[in-house]
Amino acid sequence: MKFTINRNLFIDNLNNVMRAISSRATIPILSGIKLVLTDDELILTGSDADISIEIKIPVSEDLNVESTGSIVLPARFFSEIIKKLPGKDFSFEVKESFQTKISSENSEFTINGLDANNYPRLPEIPDESSFVIGGKILREIINETQFAVANDESRLVLCGVHFTFSPNAIKAVATDSHRLSERTISLENGPQNETDLIIPGKSLQELSRIIGEADPEIRVCPGDNQVLCQIGNISFYSRLLDGNYPDTDRLLPSESTTEIEIDLAELSSALDRASLLTHAGRNNVVDLDLNTENQTVKLTGTSAEIGNVEEDVSFKNLQGENLKISFNPDYLRDALRASITDAVIMKFTQPLRPFTVIPNKEDVRFVQLITPVRTF
């Protein structure tokens, strides 16, 4: 196996493959990166059993093939070596006993590799039920829901985002049982049949990074226990979470007793200041006091060790009954960070009942739910 390739081209693709490689691989060979060279292309593969990424680099003036073959190399060392090589191009050659020589200008490394035949095969997913979605839409809906997944694997199904793809819409829901984020976006050419997938939050985080700021066309191929997303020359595989996702629609209150419309930047800044003290305390809780008679809104935070903060918050509109409610400020800050309008509407029912945060535009279908904290 022998080839010469443009170093920057290789690094761009290598960085994406490295997203799938864990430093704590349960299967030793998965701490390596697999390279397969054919007469037509160089294929890079990385996997941690949950996520697998395969990238194909076609033969061009930047990739010159001398002889084909395959090898698995220790990913971290290999990646660092390539990034630190001098020169525009580098040469790669596998010799006897899987010893691999990497050279560029006056620098030459020899590292030990493994037999690529021992590397686990990627799943074969038929594309019969595949469909295409815009990268910008998928990245948007990931960023608006993924943060709310659970980190505790005792209820594994909550560690993922529940996607429902239909012919004319995509709906995503995430909850860790303390908060919920649900986003629905219209689609023009969704799958003919409704498709339900529960995709781990970690997988979605890496997928969002690969999509980046561009708007590539993504082909989604659902399988039995894996999903494949094809983005240009990148094939991104993720395992699916098995189980029944809870019926979250019933958690959303249908009416409210108190409503406030408030500027997003104003509320975010007030929460940041209150959190300076509440984070130092044992209980990370703020109180929001809505007085509809006097038309005042107060945000307070207390730390027994340091002191307290109290702030009058300006708002656009306040109506309904007086209400005082306590909650984790980090949950609301995350909700505001994911919001896509300049102002939000918060709807409350009772001091110990969850409240919702929605955009102040009716045509945006996005609702977030936060559970209050009992302080008495």
Q: What percent of the chain has pLDDT over 90?
A: 82
Query: Domain 131-248 classified CATH 3.10.150.10?
Result: yes
Q: What is the pTM of this model?
A: 0.91
CB 199 within 8 A of CB 189: no
Please identify, in words, the CATH class of the domain defined by 2-118: alpha beta
Tell me the residue type at 354. P
Mean pLDDT of 93-114: 94
Note the pLDDT of residue 215: 85
CA–CA separation, 85 and 88 (whole Å): 9
Task: Return residue ranges of the chain for CATH 3.10.150.10.
Answer: 2-118, 131-248
**Percentage of the chain surpassing pLDDT 70?**
99
pLDDT of amino acid 32: 96
User: DSSP for 238-292?
Assistant: EEPPPSPPP-GGGGS-S--SEEEEEEHHHHHHHHHHHHHHHTTSSS--EEEEEET
pLDDT tens digits, one per residue of 267-297: 999 999 888 888 876 778 999 999 999 999 9
pLDDT tens column, 6-60:
999 999 999 999 999 988 878 899 999 999 999 999 999 999 989 999 999 999 9
CATH topology of domain 252-370: Proliferating Cell Nuclear Antigen (3.70.10)
Which value, in Å, is the radius of gyration of the alpha carbons in the chain? 25
Q: Are 345 and 353 in contact (CB under 8 A)?
A: no
**What is the pLDDT at residue 368?**
97
Alpha carbon 311 to chain centroid, angstroms: 34
* Lowest model confidence (mean pLDDT) among 47-61, 99-113, 126-140, 224-238: 126-140
List, for residues 57-102, the tens digit of each pLDDT value: 999 999 999 999 999 999 999 999 999 999 999 999 999 889 999 9
pLDDT band, very low/low/confident/very high, at 145 (cuts 50, 70, 90): very high
Q: What span, in angstroms and rounded, lies between the C-alpha atoms of 218 and 211?
A: 9
Sequence-separated (6 or more) residues with CB below 8 Å from residue 241: 156, 157, 159, 160, 198, 199, 200
d(CA 104, CA 66): 16
Chain-centroid distance, C-alpha 146:
5
Q: How much is the mean pLDDT over the chain?
A: 93
